[in-house]
Amino acid sequence: MINPTEVNSLIKLLDDPDSEIFSHVHEKLLSYGPEAIHYLESAFEEAFDPIQQERIANLVHEIQFGTLKNDLKLWYQSGAFDLLQGILIVNRYQYPDLDEQKVINQIEAIKRDIWLQMMNEASPVEQVKLINHVFYSIHGFSGNTSNHRDPQNSYISQVLESKKGNQISLAIIYSIIAQKLDVPVFGVNLPQHFILAYLDESRETEFEGGVLFYINAFNKGFIFGRRDVDMFLKQLNLKFDKQFYEPCSNADIIKRVLRNLISAYEHLGSSEKVDELNELLGIFEPGEQEN
């Protein structure tokens, strides 16, 4: 158990001009982990000294970032099965105090609205058209075309609030809802564009991997075929690669979200955020992020 008197005494020493004392106090408070946050936040509200305030804020962020990093590592090492859990961990980077149950409830509400209209005998195309109707027409989701590089497009809590997102965040929400309804829709890691694939391994399809057709979550759930992917890759001068046509792993999806965030913060000149997000990317790609 944490000793409140000891913690509060240490917090008071955070503005000590002696760098050795500050370093010792900083390390000690850091070692308490998340338990110290409540005391640090209370002290922040009472602090008048800007140096102390800044040091408290930095320490709270350091503790929260360390926890987030461990959570992401655990999620990945445990098999990265739950995409919603993975994207909520990333969301904590910007919104550490968010009530995550709210996000889960928002997703459940959209799922319920689709489920109420879902017919058992509906064909795959009919299922997708129904999801599209509820997701885009009733709930009002759309691609953020005017401010595509905004980092907020990558945080699920913000996308659910604003109803606007980038290709990957809309595709993530769409596929999570579809899978909760037993509709086999999964993400495909296409270069420069993240799309969805409807899988049906029980039928003969026009290509391997059991993909019946593709869905563009950024463009109101537009349905298209393999030839469109061929054309898109041709425009980019890219050779055929199986991974551009077939579903990718949840870990690949989260890596792409992190890369999008890195690019967004580079554009804004937020070098500290870029460094931290590269550290998170390093969980998936040891050594690579240093290049």
Each residue's pLDDT expressed in tens, for the chain with a length of 291 residues: 788 888 888 888 887 888 898 888 889 899 888 999 989 988 888 888 888 888 889 999 999 999 999 999 999 999 999 999 999 999 999 999 999 999 999 999 999 999 999 987 789 999 999 999 999 999 999 999 888 889 999 999 999 999 999 999 999 999 999 999 999 999 999 988 999 999 986 665 555 568 999 999 999 999 999 999 989 989 988 888 888 999 999 999 999 999 999 999 999 999 999 999 999 999 998 755 443
Q: Is 31 exposed, middle or buried (0-12, 13-18, 19+ CB in 10 A)?
A: exposed
**pTM of the shown model:** 0.90
Q: Are 232 and 190 in contact (CB under 8 A)?
A: yes
> Which residues have C-beta within 8 Å of that of residue 10, sequence separation ≥ 6?
25, 28, 29
